Each structure stands twice: as C-alpha cells, then as structure tokens.
C-alpha cells in the first residue's frame, strides 16, 4: 500500500470519526429526551438511570395531549409560525430581488446595513417594541407578534435570497422584457419560479425561527389562550416542581412538525445551505 493511499484512508477515517462525534453530540440530547418521555414517573429520578428504560409508558404523552392548553398553544404556534413565514418571505423576495438584480444608488450600503442590524441583540428592541405595539393595541394579538418577528426575520431572509436572485441569468430576464413583460410580470413569472429552491429553503429557516421563538412570545402574548408552545412548556417549570415527563413529551411533540418539514423539503434545504448553483 502506498503512503498516499494510507494517508487518504487515514483522513477518511478521521473525517468519519469527527462526523460521528458531531452526530452524537447533536442526537444524544434528543435521544435522552425521548427516553425520558417514555419513563414512568417512579423511574424519572432513579439513582441508576439506564439508556433504555426497562418499562415504557405513554402516560406523559396522554397527559400532555389531554391538556386543553397544549392543543391551544400548538394551534397558536402554527398560526404564528405560518403567518410569520408568509409575511417574511413575501417581503424578503421583493427585497432580495431588488438588491440582487437592480443596481441603484446605495444598494450595496443598504444591503449590508440590513444584515448588520441582525447582529443587534434582540432583547435591546423588545421594550420599545412593546410600547409601540401597545400604542396600536397589538399586544396579545397574532398580528402584533407576527409584526414583531419581522424585526429579526426579515434581515436574515432578505439576505439569504439575494444570492439566489443574483444567480438568475440576466439574458433570461432580458428575454422577458423583449417579449413585452413589465418588471412585475418578470418578477412573478420568471424570477420567482427560478429562485424556488432558495425561497423554500429560506421559508424553512423562517418557519423554524418563528416556531421555536420564546422571548417575544412570552412578553407580547400575555393571555393564557394566546401562548405558544415554548411559553406553555416554560409554565411546566415553577419554583417548587418541574414536570419532567410532561416537559420531555411536549418537546418531542413540538419538534415533530419541524422534522416532517425538513424531511419533506430536504433537497431544497441542502441547496439553501450550499448556496445557489452557478
């Protein structure tokens, strides 16, 4: 065996080893969460816990599902996450197309400024945002929370889509202009279909951000019937007790929609991670 071949195999095994370690670090907390959700209450605080529970029970899942507040919170999360994604992608596609395909004064500066605002700590805007929404009567409403999510979702989604629109060949757009299309028709009939993989991948990111967000939902949705699932799960922890079984079961149920979305849209997600094709 040649030295180069040996080094190549060594690098391959090192790479596989690092991947395995990363997978273990990512998947083990989810595995432990699943195992904990299936343990009986009596075994939850065992001094000798096992990786595989000797007794499996679904009592925690039935307890969570039978709670009216969980069903209500789950519906609230769906409404807010879907609504935020639709609003964010609608404006982000317009912004991304404008920055990606039109050269206007200040285009580069404004594009950089928008993404720089994403670096700003979100907690720094929540107090002024609270008072602004209060003045418009939007506290404890779906539109108010969805509008607040645009503060940190729009910069990210707009910036992600710039590259996909930039990758659209200019001669394709010019062909549309020669055929008599106006700019809106070119945007709707040519640009959006060609940027579809990037739009779907960006929508997945936007959905996950809105789905798991806690700080704004906890601050701006003060009524119990308007809480999202993360806020509802936070309520399972109080000064005296923590409902570990119900908390783990809620977490598993909470990640199922995201897993389904990523599995169904994984090819678009991968293309979104790797960037637009050239």
Residue 1 has pLDDT above 70, yes or no: no
Residues 154 and 38 in one domain: no
Residues 22 and 84 in one domain: no
Residues 42 and 68 in one domain: no
Residues 70 and 52 in one domain: no
What pLDDT, on the 0 to 100 scale, is given for residue 3?
54
Strand locations in the chain, DSSP E?
none
Number of domains observed in the structure of the chain: 2
What pLDDT, on the 0 to 100 scale, is given for residue 125?
86
Least confident range from 145-154, 186-195, 247-256, 257-266: namely 257-266
Residues 36 and 113 in one domain: no
Least confident range from 39-53, 67-81, 231-245: namely 39-53
Residues 259 and 158 in one domain: yes
With contact defined as beta carbons under 8 Å apart, do 114 and 158 qualify?
yes
Per the structure, the complete domain to which residue 174 belongs is given by 62-274
For the residues 178-204, what does the mean pLDDT come to? 89
Residue 276 has pLDDT above 60, yes or no: no
Please say which residue of 57, 76, 96 terminates a domain. 57
Residue 239 has pLDDT above 70, yes or no: no
Residues 123 and 250 in one domain: yes
What pLDDT, on the 0 to 100 scale, is given for residue 103?
80
Going by the DSSP 8-state scheme, the letter that residue 54 receives in this structure is S
What pLDDT, on the 0 to 100 scale, is given for residue 50?
74
Please say which residue of 41, 57, 73 terminates a domain. 57
What pLDDT, on the 0 to 100 scale, is given for residue 5?
59
Tokens 């200040």, residue? 106
Residues 176 and 150 in one domain: yes
Residues 84 and 28 in one domain: no
For the residues 51-64, what does the mean pLDDT come to? 85
- For residues 73-91, one letter each, b for 16 or more C-beta atoms within 10 angstroms of the residue's C-beta and e for the rest, the string is bbebbeebbebbbebbbee
Residues 34 and 114 in one domain: no
Residues 53 and 72 in one domain: no
- The Cα–Cα gap between 154 and 15 comes to 36
Residues 46 and 90 in one domain: no
Burial class (CB in 10 A: 0-12, 13-18, 19+), 60: buried
Strand locations in 42-145, DSSP E?
none
CATH number at residue 66: 1.10.3720.10
Which long-range CB contacts under 8 A does 24-32 form with residues at least 24 apart? 30/255
Residue 149 has pLDDT above 90, yes or no: yes
């Amino acid at each position: 065996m040649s030295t180069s071949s040996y080094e190549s195999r060594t690098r391959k095994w090192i790479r596989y080893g690092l991947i395995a370690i990363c997978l273990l670090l990512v998947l083990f907390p989810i595995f432990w969460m699943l195992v904990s959700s299936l343990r009986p209450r009596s075994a939850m605080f065992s001094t000798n816990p096992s990786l595989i529970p000797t007794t499996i029970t679904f009592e925690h899942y039935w307890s969570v599902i039978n709670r009216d507040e969980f069903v209500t919170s789950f519906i609230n999360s769906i409404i807010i996450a879907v609504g935020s994604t639709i609003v964010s992608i609608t404006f982000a596609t317009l912004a991304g197309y404008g920055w990606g395909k039109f050269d206007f004064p200040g285009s580069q500066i404004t594009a950089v400024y928008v993404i720089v605002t994403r670096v700003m700590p979100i907690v720094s805007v929540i107090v002024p945002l609270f008072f602004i929404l209060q003045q418009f009567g939007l506290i404890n409403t779906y539109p108010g929370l969805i509008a607040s999510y645009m503060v940190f979702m729009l910069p990210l989604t707009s910036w992600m889509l710039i590259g996909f629109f930039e990758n659209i060949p200019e001669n394709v757009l010019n062909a549309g202009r020669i055929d008599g299309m106006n700019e809106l028709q070119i945007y709707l009939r040519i640009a959006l279909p060609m940027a579809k993989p990037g739009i779907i991948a960006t929508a997945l990111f936007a959905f996950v951000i809105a789905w798991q967000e806690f700080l704004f939902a906890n601050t701006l949705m003060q009524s119990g019937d308007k809480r999202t699932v993360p806020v509802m799960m936070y309520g399972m922890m109080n000064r005296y007790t923590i409902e570990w079984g119900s908390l783990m079961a809620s977490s598993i149920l909470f990640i199922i929609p995201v897993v389904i979305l990523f599995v169904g849209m994984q090819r678009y997600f991968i293309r979104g991670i790797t960037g637009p094709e050239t």
